[in-house]
Structure 1
Amino acid sequence: MRKTNAHSRQIITPFLWFDSQAEEAAELYTSLFADSRITHLSHYSEEGREAHGQPVGKVMVAGFELAGQHFAGLNGGPAFKPTPAISLFVELDTEAEIHALWAGLSDGGSVLMPLGSYPWSTCYGWLNDRYGVSWQIMLRQQPGEGQTITPALMFTQGNYGRAADAIALYTGIFPGSATGPVQYRDAAEGEDAATVLFGRFTLFGQDFIIMDGPGSHGFSFTEGVSLMVSCETQAEIDRYWDQLTADGGQESQCGWLKDKFGVSWQITPTIMDRLMAPTDQAMADRLMNAMLKMKKLDVATLEAAARG
């Protein structure tokens, strides 16, 4: 991450849902970006098998870094798939870098907007890779500045016109937040006034992109891409959980929830790092068993499970 973050660690991690290709995808992505590596692999065990239904020994979560930023991929089966409602927006300094990345990600994928010149960029394209993960790739306006990869949220269908509300909600919940430049559509040109053409905001000092997507789209937000928030205390978990599930949000299992726009979040304590990258499989199994019984995660219960 090129941009200096006010926080010593990355708090929000983009979390990608795969059928069974998380490790393969991580290997591809880390081969295409500089300053990248697979950081850890966790595996399914017998514990919780009646719930997860996955073969023992199969990779559960692949953690990886791309351009110095943290990501995670889950082998969760076919229940959910990523959609372009949350894409990964990549800004690079040179067209040569863009063409190389485009070639690697487009192989076996599908093109949404061909790589070329557009009013907003001399070199831009949008694609879904072979795993269904959506990428926007653009020439950076100011070389050397900003995050390389930024989660981009597009509000479509019944969510169209709600991007500005989402900015207000998210920046009102999380520390280290700010609203960046936001460009609205022009009613004088026959467009929907007060809808976001393109905007930026920060949470915990991390950049996000947001837009309202007009027209007919066959997709919206799903669990296929979620945002995992790492919390130090139960008070943080309680606060984020309550605020994100308010006014029509939905609780789910194992620390997952949907906010009122349908965006999926995971609100997790840092102790769960021991499940994601276990050095003690017995402890990881106890954590898994405890987590499977919860909706909102309880730190004290998880710590007791870790101790055995």
Structure 2
Amino acid sequence: MTAPGILLSVVIPTYNYGHLLGRVLDSVLSQLTDECELVVIDDGSSDETPKVLETISAGRPSGFRWLRQNNAGAAAARNAGLRASRGSHVLFLDADDQLLPGALAAICSAFRDDSRATVVIGGRLTRWPDGREKRHPPPRRVDDDPCRRVADHLLDKTLSVSHGAVAVARELVDGRPYPEAFRGREDIPVSAYWLACGRIKVIDIPLVRIHKHPDSLRHAVKVSESLEQALADEIFRGLPDECQKLKPSYLAQRYLALSRAAAQTGERSTARRHLLAALRADPGQLLARGQLRKLIKAWMGSCRRWPE
């Protein structure tokens, strides 16, 4: 449900990140104006998260609300935040990250300047625990063909979409909620849909600092062929018919990644099984984007560490 005058809602899901919440909330609250709001969803945290949110709420900052739900995962928390928000556009932000100064003003200006835009993409910074930081500029060019955009995102990895660096019109977000059955990588089906169905506008400024640490929301989850198949089904279920031709290539890439991972841990029979699955899906992917080189490197490392 939208409210007159609210152009942008920032939605932050959080689970047991009470020790980091102050950083991300300060980065947003310091930028709020009358046309922006901040909605935080506590996904059943068992740490100091509720206390942190109550303390901030007691100060009655304008445009700030928070809700608590039983633990249901990041996807469910984002969907709950979307339902509770009232802006005509939405920016999802992870609780362990940090909105950069001027980000909200830049996003709002982009949507005001181009009323047809439904997706605004900016750059991002990545910071590691040792203080190293890397700048990731926004894409130089976004193809007019929706399926080419999806291929650039899923296959070529030249069109990145990250929470905090992309804002989306509500009607587009409403059309593809986060899939709550997945407890990891649930953002991929959503971002692919945004790129396939949205009108893209790129702004050449960094919007978010993404902090890398072991227990972040982006921490790797255990994967399998069945999980990769289920995720691929979920991704392509929401895409236009003309994009379905990309599915075998996407699956092949994912199976090749599983094969490399298995080889690196000495599980050679498993690595061979994943390799065969990739070849069945799309044999051409073995020669795409250095896949063969990476696979050979993984197998050579396996042979050195675990000689038969």
TMscore range, shorter length:
under 0.3
More strand by share: 1
Query: Between Structure 1 and Structure 2, whose CA radius of gyration is higher?
Result: 2
Q: With the length of structure 2 as denominator, give the TM-score of the two structures.
A: 0.28
More helix by share: 2
